[in-house]
Structure 1
Amino acid sequence: MADTKTKTGRWLGIFSPLERREEPLAPRWLFVRRLAINVGIALLVVLISLFAGMLGYHHFEELDWTESFGHAAMILGGMGPYGPPKHESSELFEGIYALYSGLLLVGVTGLILSPVFHRVMHQLHLPDDTEVEGDTAKPKLKPRSKTKA
């Protein structure tokens, strides 16, 4: 099996590796980039799913393309179908497409929100600037560099 990781640790050159617990918080531009990539992927998946629904309605219900778009968009958006299906095969298609659309909603929501959740969790787990000793908190002291006199 071919190795899909590049030398920098990115998967297919799209996703940057997430920072670990001991690493500092990623800069804001990197967070916005991660969010934009995830939104773009989610939009692409939704558009492909909409087109697949249009194909199904065009084939099984024998609707024209604009009506197929309307029916597929209503199911994909969670509103439900316009009316009862005409054929038994279209009933099966509508049921499968509705189940798929519900799972797609959960998946796309998770994909879009994952960079936000990661950033919030990383901020909550960053080390504090103070050390707690007993009942008092003291700021951490930075080590002094040794200079020759």
Structure 2
Amino acid sequence: MNQRKATPILPPKEFAKRVIKYAVFATILLAFSLGIGVLGYHYIGTLNWIDSIYNASMILTGMGPVDEMKTDAAKLFASSYAIFSGVIFLSTVAIFFAPFAHRLMHLLRIEDIDN
């Protein structure tokens, strides 16, 4: 994806394909991360499935925990998952917006500094 000033900007149809590809990857990453949280809250935190989904979703989006964890193992999982979720959520946002940022830099003719 290293494009130079002389490289023409992608046509809208190709750009839409790129956006969809990045959005699908970001969605898969979020779903995988949510799955980790749901399984952890269900099996380690001993929450039922709905509460596990609710807790994992709230943590993954940065809203905070809902249910109190009773055991030390559950507290350690919740702590680890919260740190993991923060990184994943920010990474997912960056992945989703990368094609738009790239297109904007291309339109504004911004190049790498080391060129």
The TM-score with structure 2 as length reference comes to 0.89
CA-CA distance at 1:83 after TM superposition: 3.0
2:52: which partner in 1? 68
**Mapping 1:1-149, distance limit 5 Å:** 17=1, 19-125=3-109
1:133: which partner in 2? none
Which consecutive segments of 4 or more residues in structure 1 shift more than 4 A?
none
| Alpha-carbon displacement from aligned partner over 1:106-143 (angstroms, at most 9, x marks no partner) | 111110111101111111118xxxxxxxxxxxxxxxxx
CA RMSD of aligned residues (A): 1.4
Unpaired runs of 5+ residues, structure 2, are: 111-115
Paired-residue identity, %: 34
Structure showing the higher helix proportion among its residues: 2
Q: How many residues align?
A: 110
CA-CA distance at 1:18 after TM superposition: 5.3
CA-CA distance at 1:60 after TM superposition: 1.0
| Alpha-carbon displacement from aligned partner over 1:1-43 (angstroms, at most 9, x marks no partner) | xxxxxxxxxxxxxxxx453322111111111111111011100
Q: Which amino acid aligns with 1:71?
A: N
Q: Which amino acid aligns with 2:15?
A: F
Counterpart Cα distance in 2 of 1:119 and 1:97: 33
